[in-house]
Structure 1
Amino acid sequence: MNVNPLYTPRELEHQLNDADAKAIVIVSNFANTLEQVVDKTPIKHVVLTSLGQMLPTAKGTIVTSSLST
């Protein structure tokens, strides 16, 4: 199941509960929304990634570095 990364916390909570999701892979930029509702959902496993990890090594390092500053 895919969820819109721009969902509000309420929308994300509803989607995760409706799907009875047990795990989620989420880009760190959107983890704050999940953090607000994860305790109200059946989520047991969270895999946190960054945008840079989805790019080749050189570009990924640059993107990850620029996002953390």
Structure 2
Amino acid sequence: MTISRAEVITSVERRRRWSQDEKERLVAASLEPGANVSEVARVAGLHVSQLFRWRKELFRHGEA
């Protein structure tokens, strides 16, 4: 017998707003030696492509 797991969403989720400090902290964590970008994103509850976008934007603006 297999047991399936279903997630029930009971409310409307809105997009999360990330502060500039949070973005910079996550980008810095992803740049640490030996860091795994996918793992940093997963732990933060973020899609990895969003973290890569933030990295790109911060480097473009010379902040990282």
Larger Rg: 2
Q: Same fold (TM over 0.5)?
A: no
The TM-score, its normalising length taken from structure 2, stands at 0.30
The TM-score, its normalising length taken from structure 1, stands at 0.29
Normalized per residue, the structure richer in strand is 1
